[in-house]
Copies of this chain bind each other. A is one copy, B any other.
Amino acid sequence: MSTSVQKPRGRQFFANPGPTNIPDSVLRALDRPSIDFHDPDFVEVYDEAFAGVKRVLQTQHHLFMYNASGHGAWEASLTNLLSPGDTILVLESGYFSEEWANMARAHGLDVRLLGCDWRRGVDLAQVRAALSDDALAVIKAVCVVHNETATGMMLPLDEIRAAIDAAKHPALFLVDTISSLGSLDFRMDEWKIDCVVGGSQKGLMLPTGVSFTGVSQKGLEAHARAKLPRFYFDWTLMAKRPQKSFIGTLPVNMFYGLRESIRLLEEEGLPNVFARHTRLAEATRRAVKAWAGNNGPQLFCTNPTRYSDSVTAIMMPEGYDADALRETARARFNVSLGGGLGVLRGKVFRIGHLGDLNEPMLLGALSAVEMSLRINHVPHGQGGVDAAMEFLAEG
C-alpha cells in the first residue's frame, strides 16, 4: 500500500479552498452510529442545525437542503425557479460562473453572460445597463457568485442589489455563497436575495455532502410557475416530507457535525469570524505583495475593493509552473495548496484561508510557499512571511 516515496510526516497543512479544515470536534460529532431520521433524538439535532444554518444565512425565509455537493444546489436553484427557454443573466467572475452558466444551458436556459476581466471583476454600471435595457423583463434571474474561489475575488452583493433596484428590474437575484458563507459577511434578507446556494464544505467546516438553498417568498412564488423537470431537488416534494427537505434517506451524521460547527461559529461570534478571515486574508496578501518584488508571483486579483477574504489566487511569473511549486510544498512540506482551475491551470496557485484557521496555521503554510519559491528558483521578493507576521502582531 505504501509507495517507495517517503510520505510526509506530521499533520498536513490544508491551505486549499475546498474542502477546508474540519475542526476535531466536528469530526468527532460526525463519528457516531446511525440513527433513524424520524427518531426524536435526531429530529432535535436536525431542527437545531437547520435553524442554525438560517441564522448563518441571516434569513427568516425558507431553506431546502440536499444530499449533494454545491453543484447539486445550483441545479436545485435553476430547476426549481425557471422554465425551459427562460433567460438568465450570469455575471462572469471565473471558473464557477462559467460552470453555473454551462449548467443552465444544459437545462435548456438561455444564458446571457456579462463578461469581465477576471482580474478586476464585472463593471456594475454594465450590470445596471443590462437590466435597464431589458424593458420587457426577458431576464428572469441574475446569477452571481459571491466569492469566486477560482480567482480569489468577491463581488459586492449589496451594490449588485442596488443596481437591480435602480433598474427597477423584476429578475430574481440568485447568489452562490458556497465559498463565502461562514467566512464573509452574507445577509440574505437585507440584500433581498431570492435564492442563495451554499454548501457544507467551506465556511461551515464540514465534509462535502450537504448543500442547500435559502429561498425568498418571491422565489417560492416563482417556483410555483417553474416548469423545468426535477424530482431529487424538487422543493414542492420536499415541503411534503416530514423534514421539509431532502428527497430520500437523510445523511444523518452530517447534522451532528453541522450542529457542532454552528456552535463553534456562534461561540466565536459571526462578526469575529468575519474579522478573523479579513485579518488572515490581509496577512496573506501582504506576504504575496512582498514576494511580488523582483518580478515574483503576484495577486491575481488587481482590484483591491474585490479582494476575497477566504481565498487568494496568486499568479506565477511567466515561465514558472504553479503546479511544480504546489508539488514541492506538498511533497516536501506536507502543505496542500489549491491549483489553478480551467484556463488558469499551471499559471495560478491558490491559498485557502477560510474556515477553521488561525495565525500559525496560515504562517506555516506561507512559510512553505516561501521555502518552495526558493527551492524551485522562482524569482521573488524577500520577506513575505515577515510581512505577514508584522501585520498579525499589530492586530
Contacts and interface: CB of A to CB of B under 8 A. Distances in A.
Contacts of A107: 229-231
A123 interface: no
Contacts of A370: 389
A272 to B, nearest CB: 7
Contact of A69 (B21, B70, B228, B249): B249
A26 to B, nearest CB: 10
Q: Interface residue tally of chain A, by bracket?
A: 35 or more
Nearest to A360: B364
Contact of A229 (B22, B229, B252): B229
A375 interface: yes
A276 B334 CA distance: 14
Contacts of A276: 9
B39 A69 contact: no
Contacts of A392: 371
Contacts of A24: 11, 32-33
A24 B256 CA distance: 14
B360 A368 contact: yes
Contact of A268 (B9, B14, B249): B9
B385 A208 contact: no
A75 B20 contact: no
Contact of A28 (B28, B41, B338, B385): B28
Nearest to A9: B358
Contact of A8 (B207, B358, B390): B358
B9 A209 contact: no
Interface string A304-347: 00000000000000000000000000101111101100000000
Interface in A271-323: 272, 276
A9 B250 contact: no
- Top 4 A-B pairs ranked by shortest CB distance? A10-B358, A360-B364, A71-B248, A364-B364
10 contacts: A9-B357, A67-B72, A69-B248, A107-B231, A207-B253, A208-B252, A229-B229, A334-B359, A334-B360, A374-B393
